[in-house]
Amino acid sequence: MKAHLLSAADLTRDDALLVLDTAQELAQIADRPIKKLPTLRGRTVVNLFYEDSTRTRISFEAAAKRLSADVINFSAKGSSVSKGESLKDTALTLEAMGADAVVIRHSASGAPHRLATSGWIRGSVVNAGDGTHEHPTQALLDAYTIREHLAGGAGDLAGRRVTIVGDVLHSRVARSNVHLLHTLGAQVTLVAPPTLLPVGVEQWPCDVSYSIDAPLPQTDAVMMLRVQAERMDSAFFPSAREYSRRYGLDARRMAALPEHAIVMHPGPMNRGMEIGSDVADSERSVIVEQVTNGVSVRMAVLYLLLGGAPLVADEEESA
Amino acid sequence: MDAGTTTQDSAGMHPGDKPVMSESDIARAITRMAHEIDERTTGAHDVILLGIPTRGVELATRLGARLSEIQGRAVPVGSLDITMYRDDLRRRPARALLPTEIPAAGVDDALVVLVDDVLYSGRTVRAALDALNDVGRPRAVQLAVLVDRGHRELPIRADYVGKNLPTSMRENVRVALAERDGEDGVFLSGPKEQS
Amino acid sequence: MSTTVIRDVSINGERRDVVIAGESIAEVVASGSADTAGATVIEARSLIVLPGLVDLHTHLREPGREDAETVETGTRAAAAGGFTAVHAMANTDPVADTAGVVEQVWRLGAQAGYCDVHPVGAVTVGLAGQRLAELGAMADSAARVRVFSDDGKCVSDALLMRRALEYVKAFDGVIAQHSQEPRLTEDAQMNEGVMSGVLGLKGWPAVAEEAIIARDVLLTEHVDSRLHVCHVSTAGSVDLIRWAKSRGIRVTAEVTPHHLMLTDDLVATYDPVYKVNPPLRTAADVQALRAGLADGTIDVVATDHAPHPSEDKDCEWQAAAMGMLGLETALAVVAETMVVTGLLDWAGVADRMSIAPARIGRLEGQGRPIAPGEPANLVLIDPAARTVVTASALASRSRNTPYAGLDLPTRIVATFLRGRRTYGSDA
Ligand SMILES: [Zn+2]
């Protein structure tokens, strides 16, 4: 592991498996009467959230607290990116407070990168979602969930077929998942209208389809991305209804999936838009599990970044 | 696995290693310890063996098999990883966790015997007691080790010892077990050369 | 009258003594034959001399953003970079859209005395793209404005662009267009391509530049005026300009040093020092720009020197200001990308960085031959030296250089503005 978790692309296959295996051990803690480990006692984890994301913040908070870290929630909502100076000043404040790790959610792509590399702070930086760039812990919990269901909870995801459907262009979840699932050996297919695929996507390590129906029969896990209806104002698609008809996962399309396939969504869902309510609530849906797994995976990440001796930034762990 | 024990997984003799326990010595020691556990616990049927990974788990399994024979019942055996409870975490990069498997009945009100290969500073056992405390509340906890090499740093002692092995702090004790290392044996190696 | 002799200097490969008397070049004679009695002598055996460099595209920030740069600090930086004339862009606060503002900037330049400052006039009032500014009044002012630009913003309204092109014909002006289709670049952050997709930064497509250039050259042909294309950054733009020139359209174009050297993969650092408008493009674009500059499709190198205070760069990429310093490193970067690579010789550098920009800006007394009777606007260069760029050592008030730490060829030894040394100590 590197000193920070900024991008899923930073994780080697061994790193990723270490996180998943560690998360698996830590998942047991949730079943114990005492859901707490002393491991990060005396260490300070700051949740620095420039965007409202209660679910992600709570997940990180629970993870840090189960490891006995001191948690400081720093909600910077309202301080928009237009006042860029505040990130640096906030970082200097956090450094003065002795933050050992900063978990940052920011609307600007690359903000965690800046935090980690500009010398403002010494602690580890965990990207909890930056703009339209990445959300590596979401990809890790998705991989964990897929592995539990489709790979016997062990090893990598070699040969598993994952189809990711929706607004890939604006999705940090999709970017991180393409990196990580590819690293773990899965075959990823991105499905979106051409307007919601980034330029250069043909060079990503995945397949691309404009049709949701073609890949479904060969899909082991289908991941539906949140699509904001407002995107139609920028002419990404004509109407919410047309989007839903062409790219939404309804019961009819779910029936085209193989027997064992699972349905995923990073949340929050737009029921009736990208995913039908009956699909979201079906037995194939593992959406609630994803939330549970998020805590274990984030515990694993915090433990691996903070539990050992301080890692020098960007240096590989020594044997 | 206690501090000061080498953790090479490679089997076979290492140059300069001095054998101090043979395969049969280990087998005899385990049989003796199993009898001692039965005697000292007066045949209690609530004994649970928890091995401390890595080699404590294999030893607990062997010990459990002998004890099961003696007691004529299946003695529950599990494992207890102590990584997250170590007091030296921040001296090394974060380590991978090892399996914790608590027998289904749990440890509450049971007599837990912790099993490890080498007892040295006592810090591993201290961590194991903390870990056990978060798992449940046994009625008593005892400690079985294959080798006690001395040099305690904490007020901890073993209840069952396979072999007391006086060592210098500069020496290393290596325990090999067939399940993991391809052979059984305990070896003493001289001070590590500075490289 | 003071006399300076630059002894045994190379002019286009020939060794000469250059005698400067007062504001002019008095003599250019065979090496060792100049009379040095009573003169300041510069031994220039290993040096070359070029006409003082002329920048068509400089942001001096005054008035309005004196925290980033002033006319004085910016022209000192220019002199340190070998420039004897700069064109000060109009996007100041207030905007240089009246005779009053351009005369103010012109006077500040004259007072500072480090290099000639030629204000660029705004095309539209307040750069708002709505109404033509008083182009004629600026042309007739003491500043004698000939270059007009809304730089920073594109004159995107086709009708307004047509009128501007037509109107400046009356005083031989030129419209310098910042070619950026606004709708295609709303909130754009970096070149649209593989990197923008991976980095999750909003893309700035090449076509947003090329579509405007295509339209503008056709408009220019239609009204038979003069168009100058600012900071060409894509291979497609080079093709369009080459095509337009082949049709006889009166279009000229500039490329910045950074677009000759830097590529969009640098954005992976998310370091806003690489954030610039137009954005850094791909390696293929860089190659096309170098080829275009070499074959004359692109007429000039212009710095687009854009100083920003640290708080506008020491932040998230998205929040950061666009632009980078250029004046003090322009020659070194051109040497690295064009001379070392064999694409341009020093006479070519003199053309692209002095003669051609002076011609486009209709400057008298700049970009002139090194010959007796000509104004002594000169830059003395050590072509074999190398210089490590040190941000803190720059004369500019700002520090946003993307070249910090780079070891680049050449060293500017001295700059002369009408015979007066504006940079370099006595050798
Ligand atoms: Zn511009």
What residues make up the domain containing B117?
A: 23-169
Give percent of chain B above pLDDT 90.
77
CA distance C168 to C147: 9
C52-360 placed in CATH 3.30.70.2170 = no
- The residue type found at A295 is V
Cβ <8 Å between A131 and C312: no
Whether C314 and chain A come into contact, CB under 8 Å, resolves to: yes
In chain A, what is the straight-line distance between the N-terminal and C-terminal CA atoms, in Å? Answer: 12
Which of C8, C55, C285, C304 is catalytic? The answer is C304
Residues 6+ apart with CB under 8 A from A94: A46, A48, A74, A102, A121, A123
Angle between helices C99-112 and C71-80 (to 10 degrees): 50
CATH for B77? 3.40.50.2020
B154 and chain A in contact, CB less than 8 A: no
Asked if C319 and A109 come within 8 Å (Cβ–Cβ), the reply is no
> Has domain A8-134+291-318 been given CATH number 1.20.1730.10?
no
Query: Can A8-134+291-318 and A136-288 be said to share one CATH topology?
Result: yes
Rg over alpha carbons for chain C, rounded to the nearest Å, is: 21
Q: Are C123 and C132 in contact (CB under 8 A)?
A: yes
- A51 versus C214: which is more confidently predicted? C214
Asked if C227 contacts C165 with a C-beta cutoff of 8 angstroms, the reply is yes
C201 to chain A, closest Cα gap in Å: 6
CA geometry: angle C61, C64, C67, nearest 5 deg: 70
Note the ipTM here: 0.91
Active site residue A55: yes
End-to-end CA distance of chain B: 24
Question: CA-CA-CA-CA torsion for C259, C265, C270, C271, nearest 10 degrees?
Answer: -40
Q: Does A32 touch chain B (CB under 8 A)?
A: yes
Q: How far apart are alpha carbons A94 and A184 in whole angstroms?
A: 35
Q: Which chains touch B (3 or more CB pairs under 8 A)?
A: A
Q: B94 to chain A: nearest residue by CA?
A: A308
Answer whether the bond into residue C63 is a cis peptide, omega within 30°.
yes
Total CB pairs under 8 A between chain A and B:
54
- The class level of CATH for A136-288 reads alpha beta
Q: Is C270 on the interface with A (CB under 8 A)?
A: yes
The phi-psi region of residue A53 (left if phi > 0; otherwise alpha if psi is between -120 and 50; otherwise beta) is beta
C170 touching A (Cβ < 8 Å): no
Nearest residue on chain B to A14, alpha-carbon basis: B96
Strand-pair category, B185-189 with B172-176: antiparallel
Indicate if A56 belongs to the active site.
yes
Instruction: Tell me what the mean pLDDT of segment A78-95 comes to.
Output: 71
pLDDT at B5 over 80: no
The amino acid that residue C327 corresponds to is L
Q: Is the bond preceding A219 in cis, omega lying within 30 degrees of 0? A: no
Give chain A's mean pLDDT: 91
Query: CA-to-CA distance for A248 and A245, rounded, in angstroms?
Result: 6
Report the domain count for chain B.
1
Residue A315 has pLDDT above 50, yes or no: no
The pLDDT, as a whole number, for residue A82 is 45
Q: Taking ligand 1, which is a single-atom ion, which protein residues have CB atoms under 5 Å away? A: C 151, 178, 230
Which strands make up the sheet holding C83-88, listed edge to edge? C53-58, C83-88, C116-119
Banded pLDDT at A69 (limits 50, 70, 90): very high
Gap between the Cα atoms of A201 and A190, Å rounded: 9
Residue B195 binned pLDDT confidence (cut-offs 50, 70, 90): very low
pLDDT value at position B193?
52
User: What's the pLDDT tens digit per position in A114-157?
Assistant: 999 999 999 999 999 999 999 999 999 999 999 999 999 999 99
Residue B184 lies in a domain: no
The reply to whether residue A21 touches residue B130, judged by beta carbons under 8 angstroms, is no
pLDDT single digits (tens) C41-74: 999 999 999 999 999 999 999 999 999 999 999 9
Judged by DSSP in three states, A48 sits in strand
C194 with C217: CB under 8 angstroms? no
The set of residues, in sequence order, having a beta carbon less than 8 Å from that of A247 and lying 6+ positions away, is A165, A166, A191, A192, A193, A212, A227, A274
Is the CB of A200 less than 8 angstroms away from the CB of C196? yes
d(CA B113, CA B49): 5
Residues 6+ apart with CB under 8 A from A284: A254, A257, A261, A262, A263
- 3-state secondary structure (DSSP) of residue A83: coil
- pLDDT band, residue A75 (cuts 50/70/90): confident
Q: What is the pTM of this model?
A: 0.91
pLDDT in tens, B92-104: 888 889 999 999 9
- In A212-269, which ranges are continuous DSSP H helix? 240-247, 251-254
CA distance C274 to chain A (A): 13
Q: What is the pLDDT of residue A30?
A: 82
Output the average pLDDT for chain B: 89
As given in the structure block, the two tokens for residue B133 are 């405390």
Q: What is the pLDDT of residues A174-188, one digit of tens each?
A: 999 999 999 999 999
Chain C residues closer than 8 Å to A133 by CB: 199-201
Tokens of A90: 């906030």
Residue B160 forms part of a structural domain: yes
> What would the mean pLDDT of B164-187 be, rounded to a whole number?
93
Per-residue confidence (pLDDT) for residue B192, from 0 to 100? 58
| B89 touching A (Cβ < 8 Å) | yes
Q: Round to whole Å and give the CA distance between C102 and C104.
A: 5
Q: What confidence tens digit (pLDDT) does each residue in B110-160 have? A: 999 999 999 999 999 999 999 999 999 999 999 999 999 999 999 999 999
Q: How large a percentage of chain C has pLDDT more than 70?
A: 100
CB contact under 8 A, A308 and B95: yes
Three-class DSSP category at A9: helix
Mean pLDDT, residues A47-55: 90
* SS3 call for C366: coil
Portion of chain A with pLDDT greater than 70, in percent = 94
Two tokens at C322? Answer: 């666009």
Instruction: Give dist(CA C24, CA A94) in Å, integer.
Output: 61
Whether C195 contacts chain A with CB within 8 A: yes
Domain definitions of chain A by residue range: 8-134+291-318, 136-288
Is the Cβ–Cβ distance between A38 and B84 less than 8 Å? yes
CB burial of residue A290 (10 Å; 0-12, 13-18, 19+): buried
Q: What pLDDT sits at residue B194? A: 45
Chain-centre distance for alpha carbon C124: 22
CA B84 – CA C121 distance, rounded (Å): 68
Give the pLDDT score at B10: 44
Residues in chain A: 319
Question: At residue C126, what are phi and psi to the nearest 5 degrees?
Answer: 65, 20
Active site residue A231: no
Q: Is the pLDDT of residue A84 over 90?
A: no
Residue B8 is predicted with a pLDDT of: 45
Q: Give the per-residue pLDDT at A28.
A: 86
Residues of chain C where predicted confidence (pLDDT) is lower than 50: 427
Per-domain boundaries in chain C: 52-360
Q: Is A160 a catalytic residue?
A: no
C135 alpha carbon – ligand 1 mean position (Å): 19
Pairing of strands C24-30, C14-21: antiparallel
Judge whether C231 and C254 are in contact, CB under 8 Å: yes
- Residue B101 covered by a domain: yes
Cα separation, A212 vs A209, whole angstroms: 7
| Contact by Cβ (8 Å): C408, C332 | yes
